[in-house]
Amino acid sequence: MGKRVLKRFLSALGTSFFVIIFNFFLFRILPGDLTTVIARSNTSPEVKQRLIEASGLDKPLMTQFGIYIKQLLHGDLGSAFYMYDNSSSVLEVIVGRIPNTVILLLTAEIIAIIIGMIIGTICAHKRATPLDTGLLSGSLVLYSMPTFWFAMLLIFIFCVNLRLFPTGGIYTAGTAYHGWMLIKDYLKHMALPSLCMGFAMVGCYAVTMRSTMIGILTEDYIQTARAKGFSTRYILLKHAIPNAMLPMATIIAMNIAFILGGAIQLETLFSWKGLGQLMYLALDKRDFPMLQGCFLISTLAVILANFIMDILYGFIDPRVKE
């Protein structure tokens, strides 16, 4: 176990190293790099000069790379071009927004996994009945739906027409709640985005769960359990579902790189002050240091999440030991 963890850790470290290098050259070598972007922007020559000097773009490429690595080792991602009185530390802004994104995504992920597994199990159990067809088609529609469009629909129905939920933000503006009231207000703002994000992911999990369960339900040990006279409920809960966890864990791990995309769309629509919205704002203003910082942090987060999933995998599947 320890050896496996170490191996995975080294591999994750290696990938992170490549990401750091990639992140630097991506913004410096491609056509439309930082220098061009600054030249194209419609600010005064003084501001342009300040930006070029601040990003060290007047120095040779390898010197810039040296500075980038040195700054990174000191936990410095540079300062923003325009956003937040144009000299805020990128890292500080990003770190301040991470908790919101993590809370939102974790809630959504839990909602999606639970509902997806229930739907998938029902479909597999009632295979080829109208119920199966209906739920499967529903899942496929959810799967083919642009996340942000679903959010627009929900905002239109629940916020504009029914006025059940606030349209966006994290807290109600102009209030100074404390303690329980504060948490309640936060949850009220989070309900719609997390449900929306969760349902956007349900399709993928339900379809995977269904096909896995169909495979499992034809296995011999299920037949044996049936022959022994166990109830269907018992067989599903104790024999089938635990064995379906493995492919589900794989899909969940593969999805990590994708849910950040959903977070960008949803946080933008619900003005949820997280990493995704920050990235959208940075893109909108073409604030490249901020964009670069967000990209680096989100990629490293995916690597970390994959690493954690890998370790958990070892616990779920006793066969993975080596």
Binding site for another protein (CB under 8 A): 15, 18-19, 22, 26-27, 30-33, 37, 140-141, 143-149, 152-153, 155-156, 160-161, 254, 257-258, 260-262, 264-265, 268-269, 279-280, 283-284, 286, 291-292, 294-295, 298-299, 302-303, 306
Separation CA 203–CA 201 (nearest Å):
6
Give the pair of three-digit tokens for residue 190: 């989070």
Geometric angle at alpha carbon 45, from 44 and 47, rounded to 5°: 70
Residue 288 Cβ vs another protein, minimum distance, rounded to whole Å: 8
CB 207 within 8 A of CB 139: yes
Closest to another protein by CB, 111 or 150: 150
Separation CA 310–CA 315 (nearest Å):
9
Measure CA 298 to chain center: 8
Which residues, other chains included, contact 284 with Cβ-Cβ below 8 Å and sequence gap of 6+?
Answer: none
Closest to another protein by CB, 244 or 291: 291
Give the pair of three-digit tokens for residue 247: 């492919």
CB atoms within 10 A of CB 308: 14
CB 223 within 8 A of CB 205: no
From 65, 71, 73, 59, select the one nearest 27 (Cα to Cα).
65
Question: Which residue type, as a one-letter code, is found at position 299?
Answer: T
Closest to another protein by CB, 5 or 141: 141
Residue 119 Cβ vs another protein, minimum distance, rounded to whole Å: 17
The 3-state DSSP composition of the chain as helix, strand, coil percent (nearest 5) reads: 75, 0, 20
Residue 127 Cβ vs another protein, minimum distance, rounded to whole Å: 12
Residue 310 Cβ vs another protein, minimum distance, rounded to whole Å: 12
Separation CA 150–CA 65 (nearest Å):
42
Closest to another protein by CB, 200 or 240: 200
Closest to another protein by CB, 115 or 152: 152
Residue 207 Cβ vs another protein, minimum distance, rounded to whole Å: 9
Helices (H) and strands (E) in the chain, counts: 13, 0
Residue 67 Cβ vs another protein, minimum distance, rounded to whole Å: 20
Closest to another protein by CB, 65 or 295: 295
Closest to another protein by CB, 27 or 205: 27
Closest to another protein by CB, 186 or 251: 251
Which residues, other chains included, contact 33 with Cβ-Cβ below 8 Å and sequence gap of 6+?
Answer: 27
**What is the torsional sign of CA 36, 38, 44, 45?**
negative
Closest to another protein by CB, 186 or 280: 280
Residue 247 Cβ vs another protein, minimum distance, rounded to whole Å: 16
Residue 265 Cβ vs another protein, minimum distance, rounded to whole Å: 6
Residue 164 Cβ vs another protein, minimum distance, rounded to whole Å: 15
CB atoms within 10 A of CB 208: 22
